A and B are shown apart, each in its own frame.
Chain A
Amino acid sequence: MTSHIHNQEEINKQIKDFIAEILKQDRPDSHLITVLHKAQELNGYLSREVMDLVSQEMNIPTSTIWGVATFYHYFKLNPIGKYNISVCMGTACYVKGASEILETLKEELGIGVGETTEDMLFSMHEARCIGACGLAPVAMINDKIYGELTPKKITDIINKLRKEEETK
């Protein structure tokens, strides 16, 4: 548990340092979204504590930060799994059967859109177009894009990831 606390302190320090640099620039308030990106990158998601920290450091009310964080899809307000699966629901993917991929994942993982599996391994989201329409239908798992998916292909990918985790 101590290592966890230590880790959080380290994250907070990095966020503070990042904000200190931002405050040196013109119109620092306009960098709020940049700061939230950084905070999410470091912390994994935007917790209430992280938002309070940003609020204090940037001298912006938490209510304003909450307003911004909830407006944009990119910001996650709950912890997400180790593998963050974004199923592209853009037009090209939709026409080529993205909803089938989504249904398969729902059945396979037993979670709905925006949810995380209990073992904190997988989260699933619907993505707006990720601009890989030539490979439709696609899904992105963390930063990697998987193209030309079929229900079987996506099941195989999930099983492979599960196996990798077990052997670790």
Chain B
Amino acid sequence: MEKQLFTDKFSYVFGDQKFFKKQKRIALKNCGLIDPENIDDYIYAGGYTALAKVLTEMTPEDVVKTVKDSGLRGRGGAGFPTGIKWEATAKQQNDEKFVVCNADEGDPGAFMDRSIIEGDPHSIVEGMAIGAYAVGASKGVVYLRAEYPLAIKRLQKAIEDARKENLLGNNILESNFSFDMEIRLGAGAFVCGEETALMNSIEGKRGMPRTRPPFPAVSGLFAKPTLLNNVETWANISSIIINGAEWFSSIGVDKSKGTKVFALAGKITNTGLAEIPMGMTLREIIYEVGGGIPNGKKFKAVQTGGPSGGCLTESMLDTKIDYESLTKAGSIMGSGGMIIIDETACMVNIAKFFLEFTQSESCGKCVPCREGIKRMLEILTRITDGEGKTGDIEKLEELGNMIKKASLCGLGQSAPNPVLSTIKNFRQEYEEHVEQKMCRSLVCEKLLTYTINDKCIGCSACRRACPAGAIAGLPKEPHTIHQELCIKCGKCYRSCKFHAIDKTSVAKEQK
């Protein structure tokens, strides 16, 4: 009876809105429902029964087989089958093995890992203990972003509480199995989300990726066999153990089982986390779960996979959300960031934004990524500044494809994706920027023309703000902008309180 009340609490608190109706919560099952700082709450919600089950009823081989049969795949982005990783690590003979949790959630626009650790930290502790039992590891490390102070605090408390209850430490629950874990903090380097770079960082070094093979399962952290999974992957483990592989693989589609958490953000009515069964279409998640685009604006694109992903258009909205379909459509599943872009955004500028990010986050180890992305960014900057040349778009494509093939790690291999996918789907916008020096979304400042309309009351705010002295006019009389002096900085537009300055962008005659 009480248990029933507890599970009903969800709809009691949140109502049965569409936002929740279409969701299926496995990784987020406890988030927002239990007190994350209270281990009793977690245990009351069924926590640690999975750990007890594997320690008393299952051999390590059984656990590996269950995870393998469930069809769970890595939720960090690449989607590698989790069970195969577990199996490979379990096979290694070594006196010391590690399990690692990748909580270096670097993708801008993704915050499910933070929410899981803040809302349900014990699910990570339990998942990792089960993983350690399965592969024969005795130590665990959570590599957590320093930018998440609350997550650090709650996970630390969870680890300490679990130790007190003998759920971590020596002879857990009076079994022969001993396991303990610690938190290591990142220090703000995006590339550390890559598994080998992450391990270098845990070792106290510069977080640069290593060449693979050897894979972490063979030689990982401190050159020992290491099982590394993402936060969301770990959060799924206890449910799989309790409910069985068959239950998990009954959710989702063909090769993508279970659920995926997406972080809806950008121009969408319901921002926030949504955990949906694999196989739902983009349209369903955007218009039903997400509630569509606010302010009556038109949908333009959806960006998935962060700086490694791509932009998909209206015509692709019926794409199913699973690893293969998203890749086929030209994007990736990624860690689950989903940014909705409406008609006010310029796709060339969005591509430039992502490239600026990857360029500054490139660790500099391999040439294609270090030099190639920089050159791509130079070309893109030229285009958005109105100095694009014929052939630039083709050059971007050529460079992009080369960087994808030749880079050492996932950062470089995927960095050109936002550019390549926007060229593929929004080529016309690129051509307008290059050939006609025009930005239809009025975003690229250098391509705009500023004029003053008849709402001007002559307050002189713009004249004072203009650093180029391009605005003339007597007080209380309409002002004018001298176009030949205007440096297109946009300061007048920001200073005007009367909406008296118009931004326009028209196709220029070709020389």
Q: What residues make up the interface of A, taking CB atoms closer than 8 Å to B?
A: 27, 29-34, 36-37, 67-68, 71-75, 89-92, 94-96, 100, 103-104, 107, 127-134, 136, 143, 151
Known: A32-B204, A33-B204, A74-B146. A133 touches B189 (CB 8 A): no
CA distance A33 to B204 in the complex (A): 6
Known: A67-B206, A131-B114, A136-B265. A91 touches B353 (CB 8 A): yes
Q: What residues make up the interface of B, taking CB atoms closer than 8 Å to A?
A: 105-111, 114, 146-149, 184-190, 201-207, 222, 263, 265-267, 271-272, 303, 306, 337, 339, 341, 345, 350, 353-354, 357, 361, 363, 490-491, 494
CA distance A137 to B484 in the complex (A): 34
- Closest residue to A140 on the B side, CB-wise? B147
Q: Judge whether A92 and B204 touch: CB under 8 Å.
A: no
Can you pick out 13 interface pairs between chain A and chain B where the beta carbons lie within 8 Å of each other? A29-B203, A68-B204, A89-B108, A92-B266, A92-B339, A94-B108, A95-B341, A129-B106, A129-B110, A133-B271, A134-B271, A136-B265, A143-B149
Known: A92-B339, A151-B494. A129 touches B111 (CB 8 A): yes
Report A43 CB to chain B, min CB distance, Å: 15
Q: Within the complex, which residue of A73, A74, A96, A131 is in contact with B105, where a contact is CB–CB below 8 Å?
A: A131
Q: Within the complex, which residue of A33, A73, A95, A107 is in contact with B185, where a contact is CB–CB below 8 Å?
A: A33
Q: Judge whether A91 and B108 touch: CB under 8 Å.
A: yes
Main DSSP-derived SS at the A contact region:
helix
- Closest residue to B191 on the A side, CB-wise? A71
The 5 A-B pairs with the shortest beta carbon distances in the complex, nearest first, are A90-B108, A72-B187, A92-B265, A129-B108, A32-B204
CA distance A75 to B111 in the complex (A): 23
Known: A36-B187, A37-B187, A72-B188. A91 touches B266 (CB 8 A): yes
Report A104 CB to chain B, min CB distance, Å: 7
Q: Besides A95-B267, A104-B494, 16 other CB < 8 A contacts?
A: A30-B202, A30-B204, A32-B204, A32-B205, A71-B206, A72-B187, A74-B186, A74-B187, A91-B303, A103-B490, A103-B494, A129-B108, A129-B109, A129-B110, A130-B147, A133-B109
Which B residues lie within 8 Å of A34 (CB)? 184-185
Report A102 CB to chain B, min CB distance, Å: 12
Q: Judge whether A72 and B207 touch: CB under 8 Å.
A: yes
Known: A95-B341, A132-B111, A133-B265. A71 touches B189 (CB 8 A): yes
Q: Judge whether B266 and A95 touch: CB under 8 Å.
A: yes
Q: Judge whether A90 and B109 touch: CB under 8 Å.
A: yes
Which B residues lie within 8 Å of A30 (CB)? 202-204, 222
Which A residues lie within 8 Å of B202 (CB)? 30
Q: Judge whether B265 and A91 touch: CB under 8 Å.
A: yes
- Closest residue to A32 on the B side, CB-wise? B204
- Closest residue to A31 on the B side, CB-wise? B204
CA distance A96 to B186 in the complex (A): 27
Which B residues lie within 8 Å of A37 (CB)? 146, 185, 187
Which A residues lie within 8 Å of B187 (CB)? 33, 36-37, 72-75
Known: A72-B207, A128-B188, A128-B190. A27 touches B148 (CB 8 A): no
Which A residues lie within 8 Å of B306 (CB)? 91
- Closest residue to B344 on the A side, CB-wise? A95
Report B24 CB to chain A, min CB distance, Å: 21
- Closest residue to A98 on the B side, CB-wise? B353
Report A17 CB to chain B, min CB distance, Å: 19
Q: Judge whether B263 and A133 touch: CB under 8 Å.
A: yes
CA distance A136 to B357 in the complex (A): 18
Which A residues lie within 8 Å of B109 (CB)? 90-92, 129, 133
Which A residues lie within 8 Å of B185 (CB)? 33-34, 37
Which A residues lie within 8 Å of B337 (CB)? 91
Q: Judge whether A131 and B271 touch: CB under 8 Å.
A: no
Which B residues lie within 8 Å of A89 (CB)? 108, 357
CA distance A75 to B109 in the complex (A): 23
Report A25 CB to chain B, min CB distance, Å: 9
Which B residues lie within 8 Å of A127 (CB)? 147
Report A158 CB to chain B, min CB distance, Å: 16
Q: Judge whether A128 and B111 touch: CB under 8 Å.
A: no
Report A130 CB to chain B, min CB distance, Å: 6
Report B330 CB to chain A, min CB distance, Å: 18
CA distance A100 to B109 in the complex (A): 18
CA distance A73 to B145 in the complex (A): 12
CA distance A130 to B109 in the complex (A): 9
Which B residues lie within 8 Å of A133 (CB)? 109, 111, 263, 265, 271
Which B residues lie within 8 Å of A92 (CB)? 108-109, 265-266, 271, 339
Which A residues lie within 8 Å of B149 (CB)? 143
Q: Judge whether B108 and A128 touch: CB under 8 Å.
A: yes
Q: Judge whether A95 and B107 touch: CB under 8 Å.
A: no
- Closest residue to A72 on the B side, CB-wise? B187
Report B140 CB to chain A, min CB distance, Å: 14
Known: A33-B201, A100-B494, A133-B111. A128 touches B265 (CB 8 A): no
Which A residues lie within 8 Å of B263 (CB)? 133
Which A residues lie within 8 Å of B107 (CB)? 129
Report A125 CB to chain B, min CB distance, Å: 10
